[in-house]
Amino acid sequence: MAEILLFHHIQGQTTGFLGFADELRQAGHTVHAPDLFAGRTFASLDDGLAHAEKIGFDNLLQQGVRTADTLPSEMVYAGWSLGVMPAQTLAQARPGARGALLFEACLPAAEWPEELPVQIHGMDADPVFAGDGDLDAARTLVASAKHGELFVYPGDRHLFADAGLPSYDAHAAALLMRRTLDFLGRTAP
Q: Give the pLDDT of residue 158.
A: 96
Q: Give the pLDDT of residue 40.
A: 97
What percent of the chain has a predicted confidence (pLDDT) above 70?
100
Q: Residue 13 — pLDDT band, cuts 50, 70, 90?
A: very high
| pLDDT higher than 90, residue 189 | no
Give per-residue pLDDT as tens, 16-73: 999 999 999 999 999 999 999 999 999 999 999 999 999 999 999 999 999 999 999 8
Output DSSP code: residue 3.
E
Question: Which pTM does this prediction carry?
Answer: 0.96
Considering the segment(s) 3-187 as one domain, its CATH architecture is: 3-Layer(aba) Sandwich (3.40)
Q: Give the pLDDT of residue 114.
A: 86
Sheet containing strand 30-32, strands side by side: 30-32, 3-7, 76-80, 99-103, 118-123, 148-153
Separation between Cα atoms, residue 17 and residue 149, nearest integer Å: 22
> What is the residue-averaged pLDDT of the chain?
96
Give per-residue pLDDT as tens, 139-164: 999 999 999 999 999 999 999 999 99
Q: Give the pLDDT of residue 109.
A: 86
Cα–Cα separations (whole angstroms), residue 87 to 5, 8, 64, 167, 170: 8, 10, 8, 23, 24
